[in-house]
Amino acid sequence: MAIRQAVSKHRADALGSGTPAPDWELHSTPDQSVRLDDFRGRPLVMAFYPADWSPVCTDQMALYNEVLPEFKRFGADLVGISIDHAWCHVAFARDRNLHFSLLADFHPKGEAARSYGVYDDNIGMSERALFVVDADGVIYWSYVSPIGVNPGADGILTALESMAGVAVA
Amino acid sequence: MSAVLDRPQLTVPLSGRDHVLGTSAAVVTLLEYGDYECPFCAAAHPAVTHMLKLVPDDVLFAYRHFPLTQIHPHAQQAAEAAEAAGAQGRFWEMHDVLFAHQDRLTVRDLVGYASALGLDLARFTSELQIGAHTARVREDFLSGVRSGVNGTPTFFVNGIRHNGGFDPESLLDAIGSALSAAD
């Protein structure tokens, strides 16, 4: 698998490609939860981010909202994951008109982020980390961005293309 | 060639499809990805205009659309209006008007601006209605996504993303560096 593995130096413990994606069960709304296994059979893009409402996260989620049709072309689903409560996600998603699910890694706090090696105990939030999981539930690509930097969507699209066998320029 | 690098590069080079200002003999190209409803882009607009006046022979300026339509409900239509004006050879006039009135970008406003510019209104309105320029705007947007444009405005100087500010001084510094590198 000749794919790019670009985990940044400061967090070498983020799970990398080839690792089975740890399962999680997280609230997608105040009264509904979803599991990673629910997405089995199609690619899943997981975007861990520190917090709703913060400027960089907002830009990042707004960008993914716009790029969503491109992810769908690969049959991929997208979820955003932060330690915010489901009610906070409801308000944030409504305010920003987001068309994908935000999952609450709220209780036990940060458990999902921790299981992927991207929880930052110093700040009590997840790092800004991307995982592309294949249809069999195996991590295909991951990337941890400096916390203040929007990682964009190019890396995700390149991973989805590579996974789908599309020639990458 | 990716947003995961510190200095992403433009993946779709400037070509005849792009709207450009200035001389093609210029040593430096400055490309902006922008959104007509984005307040930061409107703030950058006079800085760009001012800077272009200071170095008219050195810089070729180009603009591509990067509308964040879900947070800026009028941005897509405004971008298409600029393209519709461009189809009549008046892209840059409409571009200036849109940034100057970014809080008034309803279709009615857009038609008013087209009228004030003396455009063929029947053609302008028809092109907006049938979405004649929708695909073009999306092409611009996706070329930005693949080049490390994560928000607006984002500038590229000679095809390399400018990570500094967008005040005249920062842009001039970046252009000065590009000029020195070309010497």
pTM above 0.80, yes or no: yes
Nearest CA in chain A to B8: A154
Tens digit of pLDDT at every position of chain A (169 positions): 334 444 443 456 899 999 999 999 999 999 999 999 999 999 999 999 999 998 776 789 999 999 999 999 999 999 999 999 999 999 999 999 999 999 999 999 999 999 999 999 999 999 999 999 999 999 999 999 988 888 999 999 999 999 998 755 4
Dump pLDDT digits (tens) for A39-58: 999 999 999 999 999 877 67
Residue A66 near chain B (CB below 8 Å): yes
Nearest CA in chain A to B71: A96
* ipTM of the complex, rounded to two decimals: 0.86
Quick count: other Cβ atoms within 10 Å of Cβ A71? 21
Rounded CA-CA distance B61/B44 in Å is 13
Nearest-CA distance B18 → chain A (Å): 21
Name which of A70, A97, A151 is nearest B71 (Cβ-Cβ).
A97
Rounded CA-CA distance B61/B89 in Å is 17
A10, A39, A9: which is closest to A135 by C-alpha?
A39
Find out whether the peptide bond into A108 is cis, omega within 30 degrees of 0.
Answer: yes
Name residues 122-151 of chain A within 8 A of B (Cβ).
143, 150-151
A128, A142, A159, A114: which is closest to A18 by C-alpha?
A142
What CATH homologous superfamily does B19-182 map to?
Glutaredoxin (3.40.30.10)
Residue A88 is a catalytic residue: no
Nearest-CA distance B148 → chain A (Å): 6
Q: Is A41 left (phi over 0), alpha (psi -120 to 50) or beta?
A: left
Rounded CA-CA distance A15/A110 in Å is 15
Dump pLDDT digits (tens) for A137-163: 999 999 999 888 889 999 999 999 999
CATH number at A25-163: 3.40.30.10
Is there a contact between B71 and A143 if contact means CB atoms under 8 Å apart?
no
Dump pLDDT digits (tens) for B12-26: 999 999 999 998 899
Active site residue: A14, A44, A45, A57, which one? A57
Is there a contact between A154 and B70 if contact means CB atoms under 8 Å apart?
no
Nearest-CA distance B75 → chain A (Å): 12
Q: Which residue(s) pair with B9 in the sheet? A: B160
